Structure 1
């Protein structure tokens, strides 16, 4: 797992922070690439906070101001520690450390745990509820971007054998989501991310 700059420090201090600073800290933890690329004001807007809250968090974490904190994240991004490249580098290093067979074993065990978790009563109830909603929907608008696209494309393909209920929100020149304008309260948006 990629550890963005300050992750450990933020997690350690989190419970002692006032609620607004917790919201700012949560934003940093959830959006390290935004911290590296966006202005402090834009980050505050996206987090639903006042800009001075971001500055207060930076000072609470030992920085003179927010720009110093943002620079730390920007440097991590430049060095390939954030985003997909960072995840890929971490995965490759782990693979080299444990070997191909061990990594494959870890992946299979992880998938098995996730699938086994689907058999828990709460998960079964959630799946049944989702299936009922999909069944009763007039239309199912399907959206999956980037690496999630194949999952949604497969769902759409299978649904096409059951009728014309599914609508793929995909297309050239960015017009693929235009069909959502036809959605009503009787429809479902199926999104994979």
Structure 2
């Protein structure tokens, strides 16, 4: 069973932390090795955050003490040490070679590191909870902000082969405000948003929760403001050597959600897919020689 990530615990509570506690939390996330290996006094000197603030952070995160927080950091760093060394080797190698081949190596290396981190660090029980909520939902509404919209469309396309109650909210289609008004406690509102976070994604998540719907947020960092309104939140690794976030790990997670829905469905999924494909053929959707 994977070690619980400090980032996961912090993300769940980040929105309710004071400014000083957020500074301490940001340092803990950004410097896991230092937190795991150096004394509290040393950490305080490096971060300009008082020891008392780190102790208050530990209590706010429901640890017994700062030492308990530090021990979890040690476990997480220990579980990741191979990944860190491999990533360091990839970064050194990225300086070798020229042109398109080197660019390909850097991009693929970043994607592989993101996938490895997702596999090692995701909370499997929370993943199962998300699948259960999605399976039981009367309706699932998806909102992908900015570049995330294409991911939402892809997932809705896949799920509509097996159930017709997944819809995507978009500027060109279903209006967001009208859609939020129709949500109820039997529904799920699933949001995908990456840095820089869309204002509409944050506010829509809050409104969906006010309507009683289950809110699921997929993002890239513990500081995402939508997480404070999420019933279930995932921080998905999105590192990239480019100016944009990588969506490879996010796609892998979303496709896993769909695969889990299919595997635990009580319906005859194969028959549903066959009927959809039959109608596609009757409509002439696919090229035929």
TM-score (norm 1): 0.46
Q: Which TM-score applies when normalising by structure 2?
A: 0.32
